[in-house]
Amino acid sequence: MKKFACQYAIVRFLPYRETGEFANVGIVMLCPEAGIFDFRLLNRVRRITAFFEELDAGIYRRAFKDFQAELKRIRNWLAHDATKNIDVALAQHLFAELTRQREAMMRFDEVRVVLADDPVQQFEELFGHYVERNFATKAYQEALLEKDVRKVLAAAQLGAQYRAETLGDKATYHVRLPFVHKEGERAVKAIKPLHLAHEDPTQIYEHGWAWLGKVNRLRDLHFLPEQMLFAVQGPTETNGERFESFHEITEKMVANDVQVVPEQQTQRIIEFAQLH
């Protein structure tokens, strides 16, 4: 598959030159071979005012509007025909001029280059990472935890004994678990890494309760493995509202015959995973 060389730059909003503080608010990308010049800017003002508490929201709105208009003009200049051909020299000149360093509220980080199979998808991923911060979601955090647990099992020579499985009845109720050991068709042990370190104490409780509900439903349907372990990532503090929510939900898990182990206690995970 052909890869396209795409240039991109992160748009930063820097209202106070004196402090140098900034927020990532957009992505601009140029990929001449694919006929693409595109941009996206953050339009959620609350996100900005939450970071710059004393800032008048109208300042960002005006900066957003003016900068968006400039980017639209450039996109119109580079409008391509049905064959998706654009003037490469003009595109590169305009992109370089657009992204040059300047003293303004809306400015660019350095220009970077990425090779992409699908420039449109790559653009979406860049915006999601640098602006939406999708890496901070519980799904992303749990993907990282799964990666860590996989390394632990591999180092203990147990990796081949565990694989991702969908347990339950696919026609009615089923749950996907990343680490399951089966003997024949019977699920014997399962490990589920669980991110319970959210900023909001309610989210800690609700995410934990949702997974406890899945466990109990599998148990009611006689699909739950004989032994189940949650490898949990909890709050770093040992008091306060976040810790209280974390403590309460993990206690409920234990009361429902589910083992709970902090994800950093790798030896305990290995001891659970070992087959006798």
pLDDT in tens, 10-32: 999 999 888 888 999 999 999 98
Structure-block tokens of residue 106: 């809306």
Q: How far is CA 198 from CA 131, 203, 232, in A?
A: 19, 6, 12
Same domain, 85 and 172: no
- How many folded domains does the chain comprise? 2
Same domain assignment for residues 167 and 211: yes
121-168 pLDDT, tens digit each: 899 889 888 887 766 566 778 888 999 999 999 999 999 999 999 999
144 shares a domain with 225: yes
Element (DSSP H or E) covering residue 38: strand 36-41
Q: Tell whether the model's pLDDT for residue 117 goes beyond 90.
A: no
* Contact of 194 with 206, CB cutoff 8 Å: no
**Based on the number of CB atoms within 10 Å of its own CB, is 217 exposed (0-12), middle (13-18) or buried (19 or more)?**
middle
**Residue bearing the bigger pLDDT, 266 or 125:** 266
Q: Give the range of the structural domain holding residue 242, as residue numbers without chain letter.
A: 138-273
- Give how far the C-alpha of residue 2 lies from the chain's centroid of Cα atoms, to the nearest Å: 27
Higher-confidence residue: 83 or 178? Answer: 178
pLDDT digits (tens, 9 = 90+) for 181-201: 999 989 999 999 999 988 789
C-alpha–C-alpha distance, residues 214 and 256, integer Å: 12
Both 107 and 20 in one domain: the answer is: yes
Side chain identity at residue 154, one-letter code: A
Model confidence band, residue 81 (pLDDT cutoffs 50, 70, 90): very low
pLDDT at 76: 85
Q: Which two tokens stand for residue 214?
A: 């899945």
116 with 170, same domain: the answer is no
Mean of pLDDT values over 189-217: 93
Report phi then psi at 88, rounded to 5: -60, -45
Percentage of the chain modeled with pLDDT above 90: 62
Residue 23 β-bridge partners: 13
d(CA 184, CA 129): 41
* Mean of the per-residue pLDDT values of the chain: 89
Write the Ramachandran bin of 168: left for phi over 0, alpha for psi from -120 to 50, otherwise beta. Answer: left
